[in-house]
Amino acid sequence: MQPNPFPSLDALRGGAHVVSLPMRVKFRGILHREALLLQGPAGWGEFSPFPEYDDGEAAPWLACALESAWHGFPEPVRGSVPVNATVPAVAPEKVEAILARFGTVPAVKVKVAERGQALADDLARVAEVRRLLPEAGLKVDANGGWSVDEAVHALTLLADYGLEYAEQPAADIPGLRAVRLELARREVPVPVAADESVRKETDPLLVAREEAADLLVIKAAPLGGVRRALDVVAQAGLPAVVSSALDTSVGIRAGVALAAALPELPWACGLGTLSLMEGDVSEQPLVPDDGVLAVRDPGVSEALLARHAASPARSAWWIDRLERVYSRLIGAPEP
């Protein structure tokens, strides 16, 4: 039998802390972001799959946390990473205050296609960002919320604002491919980026084989860690941009390690999301400074872990989840 390459469950439980961080603004319908943080010999790791994910979808997130805390990261090829501001699906009058939280940034990503909103809301939000930052790179993220026809129509109009790319304009790989082909046919200059179609697919390379996207949005945790994500990009043969999973500084550190190790980094990364949160676990949070994040370990503060500790009931829920997902990851029967 092969030795178990993973730390024991007791070692994981021993170094685990569950936190609940308040958001400044609702994002993905969330007002509190919960995370389980693990301390290991190489540092801290973050296990924070969204609560609705099942154990199978949560397993790569644990692999990423173990890489961070037990193995550390591959060598960076750059010392800092450009970062975009992220604007949730808010009314235009709220955009300025949100952008102000990010400071100077080279690019802005705007959420669009939010359920319950109309295309006019998206156009108004994007127009407001463009008015405030005429020179910034601009991209939109629909999180798969449009049909193919809606996506083509919306992006034809949004293209007037000058878009670097549109993230997940349709829900699945055939939809992305259809949007990409139709935009090309109409000569609408908006590249298609795949996000959910990489991180939620059992085969993260399918989108590339199907020629359904021009670039990949990659996240360290859902792809099973920095090394695995680098491997996906190398095999896909497409350019990539790194994004957060709305993490604490510990998870952002893994995203920075990924962005810093990619051979090419043509776009600003979605790693500025701590600016959307009210608190963090580090005294030196990984928030962008002048549009960049330095490649550094943020450190974790015992006092902040205590201040943001989740309730006993939520902590127990996360420890239970950790145990189940650990068993799945090492291929053992559940405890």
Ligand X SMILES: O=C(O)CCC(=O)C1=CC=C[C@@H](O)[C@@H]1C(=O)O
> What is the binding site for ligand X (CB under 6 A)?
28, 84, 86, 109, 141, 143, 195, 243-246, 270, 273
Report d(CA 80, CA 288) in Å as an integer: 10
* 164 lines the binding site for Mg ion (CB under 5 A): no
- Is 167 known as a binding-site position? yes
The DSSP annotation for 178-215 comes to HHHHHHHHTT----EEESHHHHSSSSTTHHHHTT--SE
109 touches which of ligand X, Mg ion, none (CB within 5 to 8 A by kind)? ligand X
**Cα–Cα distance for residue pair 120/106, rounded to 1 Å:** 26
Toward ligand X, which CB reaches closer, 66 or 108?
A: 108
Residue closer to ligand X by CB (options 270, 298) is 270
Q: Closest approach of Cβ 312 to Mg ion, in Å?
A: 33
In 41-152, at which residue ranges do the beta strands (DSSP E only) sit?
A: 43-47, 80-82, 84-87, 107-111, 137-141
Q: How far apart are CA 150 and CA 247, in angstroms?
A: 31
Sign of CA dihedral 111, 278, 244, 317: negative
Residue nearest to Mg ion (CB): 195
Q: Which residue, 283, 285, 286, is CA-closest to 302?
A: 283
Q: Is 195 annotated as a binding residue?
A: yes
Give the range of 16-24, 90-98, 135-143, 287-295 binding Mg ion by CB under 5 A. Answer: 135-143
Q: How far is the CB of 49 from ligand X (least distance, A)?
A: 11
| 3-state DSSP assignment of residue 157 | helix
Q: Per CB under 5 A, does 195 bind Mg ion? A: yes
Nearer Cβ to Mg ion (130/219): 219
Residue 270 site contact among ligand X, Mg ion, none (CB < 5 to 8 Å, cut-off depends on kind):
ligand X
The distance of closest approach from Cβ of residue 270 to ligand X in the complex, given in angstroms and rounded to an integer, is: 2
Sheet holding 30-40, edge to edge: 16-27, 30-40, 43-47
Question: 254 and 264 in contact (C-beta within 8 Å)?
Answer: no
Residues designated catalytic: 111, 219
Using the minimum distance from each CB to Mg ion, give the nearer residue, 167 or 214: 167
Q: Tell me the binding residues.
A: 141, 167, 195
Residues at the contact surface with Mg ion, assessed by CB under 5 A: 141, 167, 195
